[in-house]
Amino acid sequence: MKEIKNILAKSFSITKEVEISVQDILILLIVLLIATLLLRFIRKLITRKLPKEDKLKFKAVFSYATWLSYVIIVLITFHAVGVNVTGIFAASAALLIGIGLALQTLFQDIISGIFILIDQSVHVGDIIELDGKVGRVEEIKLRTTRATTADNKVVVIPNHLYLTNSLYNWTQNGTTTRENVEVGVAYGSDVQLVKKLLLQAAEKHEQILKYPAPTVLFTNFGDSALSFKIVFTLNDSFNTRFIQSDLRFEIDKLFREHNITIPFPQRDIHIIQK
């Protein structure tokens, strides 16, 4: 027993101020073993509902966090057993502050990427609108999300923007979306005919769904026109602007055939002579 105590008490000098014993090393190994089991349990708890691909991404990030945790655990354990780590803390403090400031945005992106993987707010294939940009999500990485616009341009979105901006997910509730086209007609026009022609234009388009059926709203008595809105449902909201364009062409054609005028803004000027 005495020999075991002597072996455990045997110490090694790393520097003039830092000395570590065999007992300290054993305590550290036990603490690291417990920490490993705890971190593994936490990782499984977080990733249990994630898809396989997202699990692999999260595992890669978690491995970095694990190593950082090990470093912190080593320093705290050494300090707890009496090893002088003040010099190590003092030497590393300035370096860690500098690195933290330089990599602040990078850490924000990675943390945001983890949140995206965990809460599943965005998936590959979703159509999103962020900061005025609309695109279909092609790939979600830990630091960035890659989306393709309707013009086939690639938008690389830093993940931290999800935390600082409002994100609109057009397809989270399904692939169908409600869209509309607004039009104004001259005062004195037959509003029932206008309604009929707008519905006719929408019903002719192949990509506009029959159910729910398109609806016409009489939205306002404007300064120069009676305002109408044709509301319809699409199964391909990514190409909304092309369908809206087709609808405007058809509306203009039908209005011309039925002598419905789309007015331009007009103002009456009264000249007072003195």
Tell me, what's the pLDDT at 112?
76
Q: Label residue 46 exposed, middle or buried (CB < 10 Å: 0-12, 13-18, 19+).
A: middle
Tell me, what's the pLDDT at 57?
60
Chain segment 30-81, per-residue pLDDT in tens: 888 888 888 788 777 777 766 666 666 666 566 666 766 777 777 777 767 6
pLDDT at 15 over 60: no
Confidence band, pLDDT 50/70/90 cuts, at residue 215? very high
Chain segment 134-191, per-residue pLDDT in tens: 888 888 777 788 888 877 888 888 887 877 777 788 777 667 888 899 999 999 899 9
What is the mean predicted confidence (pLDDT) over 197-219?
Answer: 90
Tell me, what's the pLDDT at 135?
84
Confidence band, pLDDT 50/70/90 cuts, at residue 4? low
What is the mean predicted confidence (pLDDT) over 201-211?
Answer: 89
Confidence band, pLDDT 50/70/90 cuts, at residue 193? very high
CATH 3.30.70.100 fits 177-257, yes or no: yes
Chain segment 86-126, per-residue pLDDT in tens: 655 555 565 566 656 656 777 777 777 777 776 677 877 88
Q: Residue 205: what are its φ and ψ, rounded to 5°?
A: -80, 130
If you average pLDDT over every residue of the chain, what do you get? 77
Chain segment 236-272, per-residue pLDDT in tens: 777 788 889 999 999 999 999 999 988 877 666 767 7
Domain extents in the chain: 2-102, 123-169, 177-257
Tell me, what's the pLDDT at 253?
93
The CATH architecture of the domain made up of 123-169 is Roll (2.30)
Tell me, what's the pLDDT at 257?
92
Strand partners, 148: 136, 154
